[in-house]
Structure 1
Amino acid sequence: MASSLKYTRHQYGAHELQRVGVWDLDIADKAKYWIIFIHGGAWRDPRVTHEVFAPSISRILESTSDGTKSPSSSSNVGKSSIAAFASIDYRLSPHPDFPQDPARTPKDQLRDARHPDHLDDVRAALAFLQRSYDFGARYVLLGHSAGACLTYQLLATAPPLSSSSRSGSSADETRKRERGGGGGGGDPELPAAALGIEGIYDMAGLNARVGGSYAEFLTAAFGPPGRWDEAAPMKFAGRYRERFTTGLAALAHSPDDELVDMPETEGMAERLRGDLDEERVLVFKDLEGSHEGIVQDGSGVARVVLRILEVLGGADGGS
């Protein structure tokens, strides 16, 4: 059913991967929420693009179409609360199975990103969408696997509440010039809710539990192991409440996930509960399916998104 919606693809930067897809459901209604997705793929897989969100969009629309498939209150809240869907692509790190010759590959096609390039692109894409569509903080940001890591990195690296401004500060502009960020526009407004699905939140911890077998792609994305903790959302040195001041923080995982284990979600849940008020933290450990199967099917993603919208609807007084 995602194919039934008007789809527009935008470029938010010069690189071919600095793009974002938008599916219009009721985009003119500023009171409704955007659902914005960040894909996984170990920060490097060129086969995983923003289009992998389409099955989840279809499942959300099926669950809310006429009440016959899922007549629960969360389903009813769902479609009536959604303005649009978006899905973000970002620059990727090198992949040994898809090599490129740097001497012959145009700069705008080269996959040589390293942290914080991926995160800078997410910031730029969100700022672009907020400038273009003026939805502010009325969005749910969700990511799968590496995208879940990026979701919580965005929260951890946002300016603290005491900062003068999240948009257009001189420090922010300096950072973007230094990092070569994709598209400018300052730090985006943070979401009403953040959702990490089968996420990687502690790179060193996860790699240790799999016997070091993830070191190659983690090093490609973050540099040597000594740098991993600096980027790990679970080991963020500050406090989430100082940056993510009012929104919902949600996590979801499948016991059938063969690539990322449940301790990643459990550890991140403990961290969030230590930083945020208990009622702001939602944890779903009952998804069904393999690591990639969760996104390929989309039904579990849809269920969690609809539940988050239900909670947000209550927080908004049913708006």
Structure 2
Amino acid sequence: MHGCEGEILKYGDDVFQSVTVFPPFSSSKRLPWFIYIHGGAWVDPNQDKTMGYSLIQNTVPNEWGAASINYRLSPSVQHPTHLQDIFDAIAMISRLYNVSNFLIVGHSAGACLALQFLKKISEFSQSYDTNLQIPEISAIVCVEGIYDLVELYSEYPNYLYFIEKAFGDCHEDWRRASPCHFDWDKIRQFSQAKIFLVQSLQDELLSMRQVLLMKEILQSGGCDCEFHTINGGSHDETVQSEALASLFQRLIKES
């Protein structure tokens, strides 16, 4: 597994605009990169890029590069600033390293950001922006993700505190930002990335409602989608679980 020591790089002036990179052993050829985006409901400073380190060190082979991203949090910023930070971090990695393709992993709010990122770069492609040079995304793995903010509020009214901090108080803005409401047929024309949806059966913060909605939307949009349930423990334990590491080891071997 990945034995390189991580190096912290800055992609902006804010303290949260940093990424820890684990470069591949070889830099002379184009190689896959594993990208981790942490959760924390867009607001929790205790959830950061360190959450991805054990997954990288236990599952990512030395021949790959890997990175775990920090981004600015609400209420200091609101959507789409979190997404812009993810974009800027991945664009920096694309410039600095010889990347063949990305496998992007997002947990909770990070899963939402990963799918928002795919939509963002598909829109750049459709506008023929020649300055955009992001390598292919081969797969996105969404672990215990938030996919529909309106439905999330309907199921968990007490989550309003972080939804409004991150997205404001307009429900239409929530809908537009939610992956369940993206035009997946249009995104699929840009990218053939396979999307994996992973949910721990012991998750106490999110029921199966979010992931089943997303699964239905992706399948109806013709996307290549695979759904897994695992015994990963509680919401915050799942990223560190043996069950998730085992699933990733299989996905990486097949990629």
Tell me the TM-score normalised to structure 2 length. Answer: 0.91
Equivalent residues in 2 for 1:1-319, closer than 5 Å: 4-28=3-27, 30-60=29-59, 79=61, 82-94=63-75, 112-136=76-100, 138-160=101-123, 163=126, 165-168=128-131, 186=132, 188-210=134-156, 212-226=157-171, 227-237=173-183, 239=185, 240-243=187-190, 245-277=191-223, 280-295=224-239, 297-312=240-255
The answer to whether the Cα contact below 8 Å between 2:184 and 2:218 also exists between their aligned partners in 1 is no
Alpha-carbon shift at residue 189 of structure 1 (Å)? 3.6
Seen in structure 2, the aligned counterparts of structure 1 residues 275 and 30 have a Cα distance that, compared at 3 Å, is: farther
The answer on whether the counterparts of 1:29 and 1:83 sit within 8 Å (CA) in structure 2 is no
Deviations 1:152-183 (A, max 9, x none): 11112323597253442xxxxxxxxxxxxxxx
SS state of the match for residue 208, structure 1? helix
- Check whether the contact 2:74–2:165 (CA below 8 A) recurs between aligned residues: yes
Q: Which amino acid aligns with 2:48?
A: T
Q: How many residues align?
A: 253
Q: CA deviation at 1:59?
A: 2.6
| Distance in 1 separating the partners of 2:247 and 2:150 | 28
Deviation at 1:116, TM superposition (A): 0.2
CA–CA distance in structure 1, aligned partners of residues 232 and 199 of structure 2: 8
What secondary structure, in the 3-state scheme, does the structure 1 residue paired with 2:87 have?
A: helix
Shift of 1:190: 4.4
Q: Match for residue 108 of structure 1?
A: none
* 8 Å CA contact 1:56, 1:299 repeated in 2: no
Relative contact order higher in (CA < 8 Å, ≥ 6 apart): 1
Query: Considering only CA atoms, is the larger Rg found in Structure 1 or Structure 2?
Result: 1
Computed over aligned residues only, the root mean square deviation of the Cα atoms, in angstroms, reads 2.1
Secondary structure of the 1:249 match is strand
Once residues 107 and 78 of structure 2 are traced to their aligned partners in structure 1, the CA distance between those partners, rounded to angstroms, is: 19
* Contact 1:57/1:298, CA 8 A, preserved across alignment: no
* Contact 1:207–1:214 (Cα < 8 Å) also in 2: yes
Structure 1: gaps spanning 5 or more residues = 62-78, 95-111, 169-185, 313-319
Write the letter of the residue equivalent to 1:129. I
- What is the aligned-residue identity percentage? 31
1:230 counterpart letter in structure 2: R
2:13 aligned partner, one-letter code? A
Measure the CA separation in 2 of the matches of 1:5 and 1:298: 22
Instruction: Give the SS at the match of 1:143.
Output: strand
CA offsets 1:275-314 (integer angstroms, 9 cap, x no match):
235xx2111112421000012x2423322322322332xx
The offset of 1:117, in angstroms, is 0.1
- Asked if the contact 2:204–2:235 (Cα under 8 Å) also holds between the matched residues in 1, the reply is yes
State the Cα deviation string for residues 125-163 of structure 1 (Å, max 9, x = none). 000000000204x12001000000000111123235972
Contact 2:36 2:67 in 1 (8 A): yes
**Bigger share in strand:** 2
Rounded to whole Å, the distance in 2 between the matches of 1:201 and 1:6 is: 33
Change (3 A) 1:35 1:215: same
Secondary structure (helix, strand or coil) at the match of 1:252 reads strand
Distance in 2 separating the partners of 1:302 and 1:27: 24
**Given that residues 27 and 98 in structure 2 are in contact (C-alpha distance below 8 angstroms), is that contact kept between their aligned partners in structure 1?**
no
Equivalent AA in structure 2 for residue 219 of structure 1: E
